[in-house]
Amino acid sequence: MTQRLKREELPLAADMLRRGMLVAFPTETVFGIGADATNELAVQRIFVAKGRPSDNPLIVHLADVSQLDHVARDIPDLAHKLFERFSPGPLTIVLQKQSKVAPTVTAGLDTVAVRIPSHPIALELLRLAKVPIAAPSANRSGRPSGTTWQAVLEDLDGRIDAIVCEPGCDVGLESTVVDVSDGELIILRMGSISIADFRLAGFHARHADSASTNHAAESETNSTFDRSLLRRSPGTVHPHYRPSAKVVIVDSEWNGTPIGGRIAYGGLVPIEGMQPTMIRFFQSVNEYAAAFYEFLRECDRAGIDVIYCQSVEETELGTALMDRMRRAAGQSVPSLREG
Ligand code: TXA
Ligand code: MG
């Protein structure tokens, strides 16, 4: 049985975490399943609860930068500058790990991914827990991430010890994951902090996987795809964000014939001739991103067979949304297609 906790019960939630239990909590991106990152057994239970492949490392969450030295070492100046500018917030930085981080957290890598979330409940819980908290997105492995507590329970009721049942997840897509180990800012996973945001703040960033930003040019970019970076972010090779329904990406000019039984459509504008069973319009790319995972889950609840999702322009948050949409549609990174 998973205990349902309210905000007032955060001290209890923190106590459970300190005792090696699994507690899901909201962040500004998606819900996470927390465990004490220094407790190997607790961390192993996360992998069991999610059915997560053991080669996919977890992000360690901290209450503030003063805890950084507990989990990471030899922190480059660039990382300090990025934390100063973007934390607390949806930025995750991969750093050299300290030995007290449980080995399973990092899937045996000598690096650890670190993030300071900005959601007040997440921050308060981290402060009360006093230990670094490893937390992957709160969903069964491969499924769309949970952005409401109800969605989290749909996947994990009975598999985790407790959940903080409060709203959050205004961003709706996971944090931007970056690597700075070569003195360069390299994006391993797109998130709400975009290349344009980095540029505005005076940082030059580039994608590890240029194929994910320009799908049309994918066959060309395959040859320049940086495999060493893919190895550095192992999670990106696994299937992700997949509802039971089939996801098909269409643009606003699409004039094909929808296939399948019960169809759904989600996008910014209507598509002429499309008469879906379920329809959802979003006012902006931000709203589309915030509601995307929940939209996929709603379609599954309604027994939809095929979900048509309208593509968006790949600028700012649109880049992260398109990345998730392609993965939901099963169009994955080059290494997956190859085998
Ligand atoms: O917004 C988020 O980041 C959410 C909330 C809960 O904080 N968390 C999240 O965790 O999305 P998860 O486990 O679903 O995704 C973690 C990503 C994976 O792609 C993983 O491979 C990558 O971070 N990662 C973790 N540790 C890494 C490391 N040492 N080196 C490279 N990539 C790493
Ligand atoms: Mg995830």
For 203-230, what is each residue's pLDDT tens digit?
999 998 654 444 333 333 333 344 455 5
Q: Residue whose CA is closest, atom 15 of ligand 1?
A: 136
pLDDT reported for residue 335: 33
Mean model confidence pLDDT for the chain: 90
pLDDT above 80 (res 237): no
pLDDT reported for residue 134: 98
CA distance 81 to 72: 15
Tokens representing residue 315 in the block: 């600028």
Stated pTM of the model: 0.91
Which ligand 1 atom is the nearest neighbour of the CA of 59? 25
pLDDT band at 277 (very low <50, low <70, confident <90, very high): very high
pLDDT reported for residue 296: 98
pLDDT reported for residue 260: 74
In 116-140, which positions are buried (b, 16+ CB within 10 angstroms) versus exposed (e)? bbbbebbbbbbebbebbbbbbbbbe
pLDDT band at 111 (very low <50, low <70, confident <90, very high): very high
Is residue 316 exposed (0-12), middle (13-18) or buried (19+ Cβ within 10 Å)? Answer: middle
Pairing of strands 133-134, 162-164: unpaired
Calculate Rg over the CA atoms of the chain: 19
Return the percentage of the chain with pLDDT > 90, whole number. 81
CA distance 56 to 140: 14
pLDDT reported for residue 332: 55
CA distance 60 to 37: 7
pLDDT reported for residue 238: 73
pLDDT band at 253 (very low <50, low <70, confident <90, very high): confident
Provide DSSP, 271-325.
-TT---SEEEE-SSHHHHHHHHHHHHHHHHHTT-SEEEEE---SSTHHHHHHHHH
pLDDT tens per residue across span 114-124 = 999 999 999 99
pLDDT above 80 (res 236): no
Average confidence (pLDDT) over 172-192: 95
pLDDT reported for residue 171: 96
CA of 28 from ligand 2 middle (Å) equals 14
What residues contact residue 222 under an 8 Å CB cut-off, 6+ apart? 211, 334
CA of 271 from ligand 1 middle (Å) equals 35
CA distance 316 to 339: 31
Average confidence (pLDDT) over 290-316: 96
CA of 235 from ligand 1 middle (Å) equals 7
- Is the CB–ligand 1 distance for residue 235 below 6 Å? yes
Ligand nearest to the CA of 186: 1
pLDDT reported for residue 88: 98
pLDDT tens per residue across span 24-68 = 999 999 999 999 999 999 999 999 999 999 999 999 999 999 999
